[in-house]
Amino acid sequence: MFALAEVALWDIDETLQQLKAALPLGWKLTLRVESGYSVAELHDEKGDCCWVSSNPDPKLLFLEGLGWLMVRDHKTIHPAWRPREHEVELRVPNPVSDAPDPPDLDPSEVDAVYRRKR
């Protein structure tokens, strides 16, 4: 694990070295530049591409790859982050009322309430 203050002081070369050092045995890192973006790919021991990303800042790209390597095998413990084992039925409750609608208002009664005396 790295301290944040330590990582902040790394330059591009140090960040790339840390990324290469974190690679599992047999994995390869390929780098290229496309349209001003640095592109990195991580390939496993079989040659399959496991991760690919791009960023205009190579240091951020290498940090992203390092972070992915560090958490790729992490299994969540808290149940809120575990995948569901079955689908949950999504239903909006619609309570039905048996109460009848109120009667219509009598216009003369409404007029009597709001009529102003002059």
**36 lies in which domain range?**
4-71
Q: What is the mean predicted confidence (pLDDT) over 56-64?
A: 97
Which pLDDT belongs to residue 118?
44
CB 11 within 8 A of CB 59: yes
> Alpha-carbon distance 36 to 39, whole Å?
9
* 45 within some domain: yes
Domain count, the chain: 1
Compute the average pLDDT of residues 39-56: 96
Q: Is residue 100 part of a domain?
A: no
The tokens describing 92, both together, are: 């909006």
Angstrom distance (rounded) from CA 118 to CA 107? 20
Residue 76 lies in a domain: no
pLDDT for 116: 67
Torsion angle, alpha carbons of 81, 86, 87, 88, to 10: -80
Q: Is residue 59 part of a domain?
A: yes
Tell me whether residue 85 is in a domain: no
- 24 in any annotated domain: yes
